[in-house]
Structure 1
């Protein structure tokens, strides 16, 4: 069995044809999709609140946050309930994914830096990419994806 220094575990999921991953340690649970309780005046990617075992959890459409088209729920659509460590607290968040695949190990030495494409491109939320036979897996850094303003707004909506 490999040690933690060689491999890290990730939950893989899709948005359209693209595969993404988050570290397994931030994933609290994976739920079937259901409509969230709408919150007025939020950004378009904030779908609303979802009741998760008695806790109101803000739920976001990652597709919209990444500039893709809005999620159209299917029987495969899932919500990953995540505990995202921020500088000053732990942010619990629901993340809508088109499909969740598996928990899989990636060798740390196989995780490449976000590619430089020669233009101004916001890749700071990408922790790395992993090559697979059928393409790439993009590892998302959720703390960097959510700006300080996003995280504060989501936390204040949850408290409301």
Structure 2
């Protein structure tokens, strides 16, 4: 087997999982609906001096100041310069709210089967599963792992 190939095994999900499908560059990703509070048009962001490149800054959402993470930058994904489709996904993980800036939100999908990667390299270390939806693959990300990495 080529070292670039990934081994996957498919797993039936007990209950259907609802995912918000979104884009980063040309790639498709998913986040569980249960972790999404809302999806917004991008609003003005105040930069934080001396922060990581992926830390876009902070913004005010109805009186609550939230951090804005540019997810493509964190994952080293090249984006097309097409900002009219950009969205803020307001999420909540472990009682912490954070905004992920993405290239666009596609749809909400129902998932019954997830393929589990069994061999990962550093480039996809935050991928927890792969969902096939029609003609494309959607990568499920480990958002808690991403947030833990940011807090180191």
The answer as to whether partners of 1:13 and 1:98 remain within 8 angstroms in 2 is yes
What is the match of residue 10 of structure 2? none
SS of equivalent to 2:151 = helix
- Gaps spanning 5+ residues in structure 2: where? 1-12
Shift of residue 151, structure 1, vs aligned partner: 2.9
Contact in 2 for aligned 1:63/1:71 (Cα 8 Å): no
For 1:81 and 1:71, the matched residues in 2 are separated by: 22
SS for the counterpart of 1:6 is strand
SS at match of 1:5: strand
Change (3 A) 1:16 1:70: closer
Q: Where does structure 1 lack aligned partners over 5 or more consecutive residues?
A: 153-160
Aligned position for 2:36: 27
Q: How many angstroms does 1:73 deviate by?
A: 5.4
- 1:23-62 to structure 2, matched below 5 A, reads 23-62=32-71
- Structure 2 counterpart of 1:155: none
Post-superposition shift, 1:79?
0.3
CA distance in 2 between counterparts of 1:130 and 1:58 reads 28
Cα 1:71–1:54, aligned 2, differ >3 Å: closer, same or farther?
farther
Contact 2:25 2:77 in 1 (8 A): no
1:104 matched to 2:109? The reply is yes
3-state DSSP class of the match of 1:113? strand
Kindly indicate whether the alpha-carbon contact (under 8 Å) linking 1:16 and 1:98 is maintained by their aligned counterparts in 2.
yes
Whole-angstrom distance in 2 between the partners of 1:121 and 1:68 = 13
Normalization by structure 2: what TM-score? 0.83
Which has the larger displacement, 29-38 or 47-56? 29-38
Higher strand share: 2
Contact kept in structure 2, 1:61 and 1:70, CA below 8 Å: no
Q: 1:1-160 alignment to 2 at 5 Å?
A: 5-69=14-78, 72=81, 74-85=83-94, 90-107=95-112, 110-114=113-117, 116=119, 120-148=121-149, 150-151=150-151
More RCO (CA 8 Å, sep 6+) = 2
**After superposition, what is the alpha-carbon deviation per residue over 1:45-73, rounded to whole angstroms, capped at 9, x for unaligned?**
00000111101100011000001236745
Residues matched between the structures, number: 140
